[in-house]
């Protein structure tokens, strides 16, 4: 609780205390005045009885307070008390009007099977006390990863293009396995980097555009490269399959994705995942049936 809230609560308590004390004083004054008027009334009544004759004939009204004047005074005094109390209450409400917030919850119409035929029932939502946590953790800063080169070539026929073809033509081989593909990876940075290669192999045995076999090999190559270092990885496709059997035929597609990061320790056991660079390559070939 801050000082402002404490002072507001203190002023509220003092105002309430003053109101109660005012009401108490007014009540005491009213009772005292009432007792005095009753005493005067009894004195006036006793004097009147003493002056009456034995024949009980009415005499003239004695000087002093008569009953009608007494009741008028009582009513007037009560009216003054009510005016004072009402003014104090209005002042208290006006003083605290700005301190309280009144929240009006709009009604929510809930449609059920029962009220579909009989009308709709309005159910106000329960006040929510859920505290939503505020995430103050700053988001990690992303920056470009290391520069590197990656491509796939045939040992004799040259580079595969982005579509996985050689000079725009599909490669056709006479054996069930293709062993002439070479992956080339080069670090173009002046710092040590670490690269991971994922490979996906798809086999369409019937040539109908539907792959009967698929093999996903995540991080099948992990390589740490010094500044300017180049490396070559010999490939044998289509490789082994965890599920299904390769029947030595069909159209084979091998897709490669390389992810490289800066090393953040001398042994390059840990890398900075906020700076990532990626490249892709593809190889396509068809096994020619006998």
Please provide the DSSP assignment of 131-147 as one string. PPPP--PPPPPPEE---
Residue pair 163/285 in contact (Cβ under 8 Å)? The answer is no
- The stretch 100-106 carries a mean pLDDT of 48
pLDDT at 76: 80
Q: What pLDDT sits at residue 95?
A: 67
Which of the two residues, 75 and 201, has the higher pLDDT score? 201
pLDDT at 131: 63
Q: Give the sign of the dihedral formed by CA 267, CA 273, CA 275, CA 277.
A: positive
Task: Say which residue, 136 or 16, is predicted with more confidence.
Answer: 16
Question: Which percentage of the chain shows pLDDT scores above 90?
Answer: 45
How far apart (Å, rounded) are the C-alpha atoms in residues 254 and 211? 12
Longest dimension (CA), the chain: 156
Q: Once rounded to an integer, what is the mean pLDDT over residues 8-20?
A: 78
Give the mean model confidence (pLDDT) for residues 184-204: 96
Q: Residues 9-32: what's their mean pLDDT?
A: 79
Q: What integer best gives the mean pLDDT of the chain?
A: 80
Residue 125's pLDDT band (cuts 50, 70, 90):
low
pLDDT value of position 55: 47
d(CA 177, CA 175): 6
What per-residue confidence (pLDDT) applies to 21? 80
Judged against a pLDDT cut of 60, whether residue 9 lies above it is answered with yes
pLDDT tens-digit series, residues 42-68: 777 766 565 554 444 444 444 554 556
The pLDDT of residue 89 is: 79
Residue scoring higher pLDDT (117 or 228):
228
Residue 169 has pLDDT above 90, yes or no: yes
Q: How far apart are the first and last CA of the chain?
A: 89
Bridge-partner residues for 237, per DSSP? Answer: 178
Question: Does this model's pTM top 0.95?
Answer: no
Q: Could you tell me the two tokens for 74?
A: 């009582």
Please determine, for residue 70, whether its predicted confidence score (pLDDT) is greater than 80.
no
Q: What's the fold here for domain 144-287?
A: Immunoglobulin-like (2.60.40)
Least confident range of 12-21, 116-125, 157-166, 260-269: 116-125
Whether the per-residue pLDDT at 186 is higher than 70: the answer is: yes
Structural contact between residues 270 and 263, judged by C-beta atoms closer than 8 angstroms: yes
Distance from the Cα of residue 277 to its chain's centroid: 32
């Amino acid at each position: 609780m801050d000082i402002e809230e404490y002072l507001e609560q203190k002023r509220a308590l003092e105002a309430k205390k003053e109101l109660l004390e005012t009401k108490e004083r007014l009540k005491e004054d009213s009772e005292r005045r009432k007792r005095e008027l009753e005493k005067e009334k009894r004195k006036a009544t006793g004097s009147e009885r003493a002056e009456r004759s034995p024949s009980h004939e009415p005499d003239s009204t004695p000087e002093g307070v008569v009953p009608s004047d007494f009741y008028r005074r009582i009513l007037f005094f009560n009216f003054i008390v009510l005016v004072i109390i009402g003014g104090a209450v209005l002042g208290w409400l006006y003083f605290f009007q700005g301190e309280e917030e009144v929240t009006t919850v709009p009604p929510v119409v809930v449609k059920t099977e029962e009220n579909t035929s009989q009308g709709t029932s309005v159910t106000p939502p329960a006040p929510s006390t859920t505290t939503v946590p505020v995430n103050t953790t700053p988001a990690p800063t992303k920056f470009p990863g290391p520069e590197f080169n990656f491509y796939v070539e045939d040992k004799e026929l040259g580079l595969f293009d982005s579509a996985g073809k050689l000079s725009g033509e599909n490669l056709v081989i006479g054996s069930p396995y293709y062993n002439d593909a070479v992956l080339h990876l080069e670090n173009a940075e002046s710092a040590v980097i670490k690269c991971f290669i994922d490979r996906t192999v798809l086999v369409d045995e019937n040539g109908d555009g539907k792959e009967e076999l698929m093999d996903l090999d995540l991080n099948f190559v992990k390589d740490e490269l010094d500044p300017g270092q180049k490396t070559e990885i010999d490939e044998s496709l289509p490789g082994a399959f965890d599920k299904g059997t390769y029947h030595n035929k069909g159209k084979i597609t091998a897709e490669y994705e390389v992810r490289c990061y800066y090393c953040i320790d001398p042994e390059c056991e840990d890398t900075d995942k906020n700076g990532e660079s990626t490249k892709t390559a593809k190889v396509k070939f068809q096994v020619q049936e006998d």
